[in-house]
Amino acid sequence: MSHFIVTDRKTDYLLPPSLDDWLNQDHLARFIVEVIDDLDLSNLIRQYAGRGSKAYHPATLLAILVYGYATGIFSSRRLERATYDSVAFRYIAAGSHPDHDSLATFRRRFLDELSDLFLQVLAMAKEMKLLKLGNVCLDGTKIDANASRHSALSHGHIEKLEAQLKAEVQELFSLAEQADQADVPDGVSLPEEIKRRENLPIEEAVRVALTRVVGAYAIVVIDRTEPEKLVAARKGSPLVVGIGDDEYFMASDATPIIEYTKRVIYLNDEEIVMATRDGRLEIKSIGNEVQTPFIHELDMQIEMMEKGGFDYFMLKEIYEQPKTIGDSMRGRLNAEEGWVKLGGLDEFTSRIAKAKRFIIAACGTSWHSGLIGEYLIEDLARIPVEVEYASELRYRNPIITSDDIVIAISQSGETADTLAALELAKEKGAMIYGIVNVVGSSIARITDAGSYIHAGPEIGVASTKAFTGQVTLLTMIALSLAQKRGTISDEYFRKLITELGNIPAKVNKVLESNALIQYIAGEIKDRTNALYLGRGYNFPVALEGALKLKEISYIHAEGYPAAEMKHGPIALIDEEMPVIVIATNKSAYDKIVSNIQEVKARKGFVIAIVTEGDTVISKIADHTIEIPDTEEPLTPLLSVIPLQLLSYHIAVMRGCNVDQPRNLAKSVTVE
């Protein structure tokens, strides 16, 4: 016995003192151990003793296999894990942890001997009415304490049951072998395991492996035995293949590889690409169908991925907004001639004209721009709009029909929740319109029509220029629909598009307040909470301002419609609570003034975004930040700028990583 690891079920543990105390006296595991202890294992012991100086005792291994198979666990890897996780298995293993290889090898090497021993255990169980035949199952509920000790090990009935019992044993071992063959080792690559077992080339092994994979992925595989090949695949997560001169690049986005090539292929879901050192490129579906790649030429400059003298990408992107807002309008709006044209909309004019409802699906900042889109489309075009969190849309069994237009908004075009919502909408027959920033992205490829915002690469995780680009595009959509439907006068239409054309210059003017905003940021940088209030078009801006503060400064902030302040949030207001109010001189101005007075009456610290020349609120608020006057539907494009700068400066003063805030990613490609 010196060759074996000593079995000891009496070893003291903490609470309760030993394994023996953990297990009920009538537990099935005890029955199996006691039966096996009474079996003649001498022949097995002699054969197995030569396998190493400290082999696991055959009785222990046999008991693990019997108990595992009787309780439906056939995989050797699962049995190994069970010796750590299960009290019953820990009792049987006596505190040891036989590895999966030892268990599988033991079963395969001594198959005949184990078959006989299993036969005896099952015969005993049958004699004691514990065995369910047909599908082997031992009923532990019928076991009395130490039952095996009070029953003679009589096998007189074995002969009558032998044929059936042998069939049961063979089935058990067959299931165990199937489970072990199907098992993928923990920490081992599934493609490598398939390649090893089936002797396939790495690209084929990856393809076969992915037919068994559930969930989203974007992977790149290289095989140490075939280093000249690079294999990549995607499902639900983005993957871009860059094509250089005698070289290939794999990335989740085109931005990191623009320095090396502007020629890219965007893989579709469940596509696999194999690139070789000698210049061969092959794309297949998981179903093994050869795909013809479409090569995109990127219109992107390397300078766009550099900070350009700014301390952070976020600040650079805030200051780029006069240009990016203008870029989103270029070729789509002409104030002098009085027209707005969006190619994606014009292609589906008749269907859009018949639409009974718009559904906007988005997440995060894009959801806030969608809320502004709701105000714009309902106000100007008089079409009902619902704005949905994409992450919730498909889980609530929504009513979507072929009469609906679903607008998906996403900076990256890869947001997993939004993509999933679109798949649902497509199934229900709705037309899908995409508003994205990244050319060639997944949403851009699966939508029926759409428009790019042309904001250029947005590196900072907290979205700024993409937000104003989205709002600009939604404004043009609303104006185009309003003109086609005749829901606004020509005079008002021309006034709006003229004013929209002036927005970039007015954003520049707002940016001139940066020094003042930086000073105000210093006043509230150490606060732990903040409240943002807005009405009408500026309520979503309040939400966006609060989100920016949370994202990059880690200060808790909430956005509310100003009128809702009295329905709860007012209880939180004291001298330590900064309240940021968007208080432009448009509709409900008097009520906004009243809201500010209520805050000040409770010693709240008020920062107000006001229209240039305002004399009323400047006398009440602690600080005011002026924005140029504009038409009410366009105010969000101006009022959001001070809130972006305020969040930025607070984050810098608090020593936060502005561009890459903790726990956040630029593109949320998982659900």
- pLDDT tens-digit series, residues 556-593: 999 988 877 778 777 778 788 899 999 987 778 888 88
Give the residue, 502 or 338, on which the prediction is more confident. 502
Least confident of 146-155, 400-409, 502-511: 146-155
CA atoms within 13 Å, Cβ hemisphere of 423:
12
The pLDDT value recorded for residue 532 is: 94
Average pLDDT over residues 61-67: 84
User: By three-state DSSP, how is residue 264 classified?
Assistant: strand
The pLDDT value recorded for residue 102 is: 82
The pLDDT value recorded for residue 155 is: 46
CA dist 503 and 207 (Å) reads 51
DSSP secondary structure, 369-400, as one string: HHHHHHHHIIIII---EEEEEHHHHTTS----
Query: Which residues neighbour 590 within 8 Å (Cβ) at sequence distance 6 or greater?
Result: none
Closest CA relative to residue 344, chosen from 473, 498, 201: 473
CA dist 295 and 88 (Å) reads 59
CA dist 638 and 512 (Å) reads 12
Query: 3-class secondary structure for 174-200?
Result: HHHHHHHHHCCCCCCCHHHHHHHHHCC
User: By three-state DSSP, how is residue 258 classified?
Assistant: coil
> Phi-psi bin for 496: left (phi > 0), alpha (psi -120 to 50), beta?
alpha
When pLDDT is cut at 50, 70 and 90, the band that residue 22 belongs to is low
Q: Cβ atoms within 10 A of the Cβ of 139, count?
A: 14
CA dist 244 and 652 (Å) reads 39
Q: Residue 99: is its pLDDT beyond 80?
A: yes
Q: Tell me, what DSSP letter sits at residue 452? A: E
Query: Which residues neighbour 158 within 8 Å (Cβ) at sequence distance 6 or greater?
Result: 119, 120, 123, 165
Give the residue, 300 or 458, on which the prediction is more confident. 458
Average pLDDT over residues 212-237: 82
Q: Is the dihedral of CA 478, 479, 483, 484 positive or negative?
A: negative
Closest CA relative to residue 639, chosen from 437, 450, 467, 390: 467
Which range, 37-46, 450-459, 646-655, has the best average confidence (pLDDT)? Answer: 646-655
**147 pairs with which residues across the strands?**
none
CA dist 353 and 629 (Å) reads 33
The pLDDT value recorded for residue 13 is: 43
Least confident of 96-110, 192-206, 244-258, 394-408: 192-206
Environment class of 193 (CB within 10 Å of its CB; exposed 0-12, middle 13-18, buried 19+): middle
When pLDDT is cut at 50, 70 and 90, the band that residue 518 belongs to is very high
The pLDDT value recorded for residue 34 is: 82
Least confident of 186-190, 270-274, 388-392, 662-666: 186-190
Which range, 163-167, 344-348, 369-373, has the best average confidence (pLDDT)? Answer: 369-373
Give the residue, 212 or 448, on which the prediction is more confident. 448
Give the residue, 206 or 191, on which the prediction is more confident. 206
When pLDDT is cut at 50, 70 and 90, the band that residue 162 belongs to is low
CA dist 64 and 45 (Å) reads 16
Structure tokens at 124: 């005993």
Q: Cβ atoms within 10 A of the Cβ of 337, count?
A: 8
When pLDDT is cut at 50, 70 and 90, the band that residue 510 belongs to is very high
Q: Residue 502: is its pLDDT beyond 90?
A: yes
Average pLDDT over residues 447-471: 89
When pLDDT is cut at 50, 70 and 90, the band that residue 29 belongs to is confident
Least confident of 212-221, 271-280, 545-554: 212-221
Average pLDDT over residues 528-540: 92
The gap from C-alpha 667 to its chain's centroid, in whole angstroms, comes to 9
Average pLDDT over residues 489-495: 93
CA dist 427 and 412 (Å) reads 23
User: By three-state DSSP, how is residue 235 classified?
Assistant: strand
CA dist 437 and 348 (Å) reads 21
**55 pairs with which residues across the strands?**
4
Q: What angle is formed at CA 81 by the lines to CA 76 and CA 84, rounded to 5 degrees?
A: 140
The pLDDT value recorded for residue 625 is: 94
The pLDDT value recorded for residue 138 is: 55
The pLDDT value recorded for residue 3 is: 52
Mean pLDDT of the chain: 81
When pLDDT is cut at 50, 70 and 90, the band that residue 149 belongs to is very low
Q: Residue 126: is its pLDDT beyond 70?
A: no
The pLDDT value recorded for residue 14 is: 43
Calculate helix-pair angle for 28-37, 58-70, nearest 10 degrees. 140
Element (H, E) at 300: none
On whether the CB atoms of residues 52 and 98 are closer than 8 A, the answer is no
Q: What angle is formed at CA 161 by the lines to CA 159 and CA 163, rounded to 5 degrees?
A: 90
Give the residue, 50 or 176, on which the prediction is more confident. 176
The pLDDT value recorded for residue 546 is: 94
Query: Which residues neighbour 655 within 8 Å (Cβ) at sequence distance 6 or greater?
Result: none
Average pLDDT over residues 647-661: 92
